[in-house]
Chains A and B, each alone.
Chain A
Amino acid sequence: MLERIPSIRKAPDEEYYVPGHRTCAGCGPALAYRLTAKAAGPNTIFIGPTGCMYVANTSYGCGPWRVPWIHAQITNGGAVASGIEAAFKVLARKKKYQGEIPHVIVFAGDGGAVDIGLQALSGMLYRGHDVLFICYDNESYANTGIQTSPTTPYGAWTTFTPAGPAVPEGKKLFPKDNPKVVAHGHPELKYLATASIGWPVDLMNKVRKGLNAEGPAYLHIQAPCPKGWQFPPNKTIEMAKLAVQTGMFQLYEYENGEYKLSVKMEERKPVAEYLKLQKRFAHLQPEHIEKLQAFVDARCAEVGITVPAVASAR
């Protein structure tokens, strides 16, 4: 069992995701990786589907992990993890493997988890493999140069959803809610939560809970991407916090059919305060922002965030 981490000071000193990669300055997913690896510890195997956390981490034949890591296609993280988990199970049973059974973690982008990789994720959860599947959500196909994915917010610019006279809001669709897709259709699922790099202790504890669960677990981590969202690299944590404070991203654990909120909020900030700091939303008109605010309000209500959005005093 991995123990609960009471505070950031009590978090383990050891790092298993170490320097030596070339992610952008201020990369949110890289920080999520570091926290995940720290929480998981040395007896861990990572599966890395194609995406920034493959390409920017493993350039030139090496990688920043001190634990085993294997590449998966962007399509098949869940299936590769299923095979690894099954192998250790049977090899231990047949006495062909003597060591402790390792933790198996998939670290997939939103493309690799919510879009092209969803089938493999769902198959893995359905079959009940003891794997923690993490989606680091940077809200775009980042590695291919920022294209829209199903988690890209309504109204965001990407290279595939540019704003123009005929399509003034850029992206027209509302995002797919993968934690909900996962939560309601997989009877073997043992743990589900969302997390944010703005709440690192909470994130690490959710990783540990997911790993302690005997069976499949899903963790959806929002991880801001300065390049794709177009904000300065020293603002990553601020962006992560604002996402939660505005309700654009909701932090919870889903247990026994109920949403358990992870942070107490007295009130929410309006989404406009989040949007104005990111150039990907620069083209939005007031009616688009209103539409987005209404969507966020509804989504918050669904998970039990009932506090109203109140504009900050200037």
Chain B
Amino acid sequence: MGKVRRISGCVAAANAVKLADVDVICSYPIRPYTGIMSELARMVADGELDAEFIHGEGEHAQLSVVYGASAAGARTFTGSSGVGVTYAFEVYSPISGERLPVQMAIGDRTLDPPGDFGSEHTDAECCRDQGWIQGWASTQQEVLDMHLIYYRVGEDPRVMLPQFVCQDGYYITHILGEVDIPDPSQVKEFLPPYKNHHVLDPKNPMIIGAQIEPAMGPPLQYQRYQAMQAVGQVLREAHEEFARIFGRRYDPFLEEYLTEDAEVVIFGQGAHMVTAKAVAARLRNLGEKVGVVRLRTFRPFPTEEIRRRMSRFKAIGVLDNSVNFGISCNGGVLLSELRAALYDFGDKVKTVGFVAGLGGEVVTHDEFYRMFRKIQEIAKTGKVEQTAYWLPFEL
């Protein structure tokens, strides 16, 4: 059995990395994810974790170090925030393209400008199409669990893809929550050792990353696409196993809250959804049929799950905690993708977008009330006057 401690999201992530017996870690400082690395450095210094802890000379180096280490057969970990995430951009595709199941923690942070420490999902969302599995946790416990689940899924021979485990800066990285830290023996049962069959080994020489002729391009990209397609099923299996071994059950794709007879819901991901749930509960007390759907897996985007489970609502409001200047419908990427997923249902399901909490600003209860009112109004009138609203300026 594990033990329950009150720890931050950063410390929760570090505990997962230790439990996963990671071999190579590469760090570079940037708030707010830094706490993960200082905790890991402490674990290594105190002899609690046997790993090579490398101080990269930047985020680009961080990703490059774990690329090499993973290709040499090591389980690897790195992480970043904000401009650090984008500084490393070149290396994301080589990692997924060589099918290296590297894991990276993101403690979300606004991109510059403004020079702002606050949380925003823009950093990780920028990298959404690079062949990395991505999901947002909403509590410290979920952070720890997601890291373990993602190692298992990413390293599955059907998948072999890298993973982003994202947590909102400060709201999760720095706030304490109760976390059940599992016993290493449970983790051993859940997470088999990392085995890559295409490693750098002089006894079995292999060339990794050769140039190709154009005709070899489509099949290679198609294989990476198929790997991403396989993630859904592997996630399902991993969550089943996780529930069996650890006794905690999550829906792999969508957490539904008070949705059973809901007419309208707010859809979004990450820590702000905790506030959304609190507001939904208050509105329920007033007898209003509102609920919340929290996206847990952003990549691959669970289109089928959304079609099957969300087409029953009259109207959906989508919260985007990111900037996507010039995007369709003027909201964010979640609005865009949800609308695309529900396209076939046409007018039956109305959608509206909200851009809120930018720069790390709190999305207040009051703002969630206003969002719910807007969604209810749309459900009632059947009219969407504006595809998306920037809060607090437009709503």
List the interface of chain A (C-beta within 8 A of B): 42-45, 47, 54-55, 58-63, 65-73, 75-76, 79-84, 86-91, 93-94, 96-97, 99-100, 102, 119-120, 122-123, 126-127
- Contact in complex: B51, A90 (CB < 8 Å): yes
Q: How far is the CB of B218 from chain A (nearest CB, A)?
A: 13
B61 touches which one: A62, A76, A91, A100 (CB < 8 A)? A76
A84/B51 in contact, CB under 8 A: no
Question: A82: which of B68, B71, B207 is its contact (CB, 8 Å)?
Answer: B68
Known: A83-B24, A102-B202. A60 touches B211 (CB 8 A): yes
- Contacts A65-B207, A67-B202 known; A87 to B64 CB distance under 8 Å? no
A56 CB, nearest partner CB in chain B, Å = 9
Q: Is B216 at the interface (CB under 8 A from chain A)?
A: yes
> Is B251 in the interface zone, CB < 8 Å from A?
no
Contact A61 B210 (CB under 8 A): yes
A45 touches B202 (CB 8 A): yes
Q: Known interface pairs A70-B71, A87-B72. Does A94 touch B211 (Cβ–Cβ under 8 Å)?
A: no
* Residues of chain B with a CB closer than 8 A to A122's CB: 57
Report the minimum CB–CB distance from A111 to chain B (whole Å). 15
Closest Cβ of chain A to B160, distance in Å, is 16
The chain B residue sitting closest to A119, CB to CB, is B57
Q: Tell yes or no: B247 within 8 A of A by CB.
A: no
Bound-state Cα–Cα, A122 to B67, Å: 18
Cα distance A65–B208 in the bound complex, in angstroms: 11
Q: Please tell me if the beta carbons of B211 and A99 are within 8 angstroms of each other in the complex.
A: no
Q: Which residue of A lies closest to B55 (CB)?
A: A127
CA distance A67 to B73 in the complex (A): 16
Nearest CB in chain B: distance from A289 CB, A: 39
Complex Cα gap A88–B206 (Å): 16
CA–CA, A72 and B65, complex, Å: 10
Is B312 at the interface (CB under 8 A from chain A)? no
B66 at interface by CB-CB < 8 Å: yes
Flag B54-87 by CB within 8 Å of A: 1 or 0 each. Answer: 1111101100111111111110100000000000
Chain A residues with Cβ below 8 Å from B207 are 58, 62-63, 65, 68-70
Minimum CB–CB distance for B260 against chain A, Å: 48
Q: How far is the CA of A119 from the CA of B57 in the complex (A)?
A: 8
Number of B interface residues at 8 Å Cβ cutoff, please give it: 43
Residues of A within 8 A of B51 (CB): 90
Closest to A41 in B: B202
CB distance from B68 to the nearest CB of A (A): 3
| Max count, chain B CB within 10 A of own CB: residue among A72, A86, A89, A127 | A86
The CA of A252 and the CA of B208, in the complex, are separated in Å by: 34
B212 partner, pick from A42, A60, A72, A94, beta carbons under 8 A: A60
CA distance A88 to B90 in the complex (A): 25
Interface string of B198-218 (1 = CB under 8 A from A): 001111011111111100100
**A-contact bits for B177-203, CB 8 A (1 contact / 0 none):** 000000000000000010000001111
- C-alpha gap A160/B94 in the complex (Å): 29
What CA separation (Å) do A103 and B255 show in the bound complex? 49
Q: Cβ of A127: which chain B residues have Cβ within 8 Å of it?
A: 54-55
A99 touches B201 (CB 8 A): yes
Of A44, A80, A96, the contact of B65 (CB 8 Å cutoff) = A80
Please measure, in the bound complex, the distance between the C-alpha atom of A155 and the C-alpha atom of B244, giving whole angstroms: 71
Q: Identify the closest chain A residue to B200 (Cβ).
A: A68
Q: What are 8 sample pairs from A and B whose C-beta atoms fall under 8 A apart?
A: A69-B205, A71-B94, A76-B60, A83-B68, A83-B72, A86-B24, A86-B52, A120-B57
Q: Does B50 belong to the interface (CB within 8 Å)?
A: yes
Write the nearest CB–CB distance from A129 to chain B, whole angstroms. 9
Q: Is the CB of B56 within 8 A of A79?
A: yes
Chain B residues with CB under 8 Å of A79's CB are 56-57, 60-61, 64-65, 68
B201 cross-chain contacts in A, Cβ below 8 A: 68, 99
Cα distance A60–B211 when bound, in Å? 6
Q: Does B26 contact A (CB under 8 A)?
A: yes
List 14 other contacts, CB 8 Å, given A79-B56, A94-B50.
Answer: A44-B202, A54-B211, A58-B210, A59-B213, A60-B213, A60-B216, A61-B210, A70-B208, A76-B60, A76-B61, A83-B68, A120-B57, A127-B54, A127-B55
Complex formed: what's the CA distance from A127 to B24 in Å?
14
Q: From known contacts A44-B202, A59-B213, A86-B24, infer whether A73 and B64 are also in contact, taking CB-CB under 8 Å.
A: yes
Q: Are A87 and B57 in contact (CB under 8 A)?
A: no
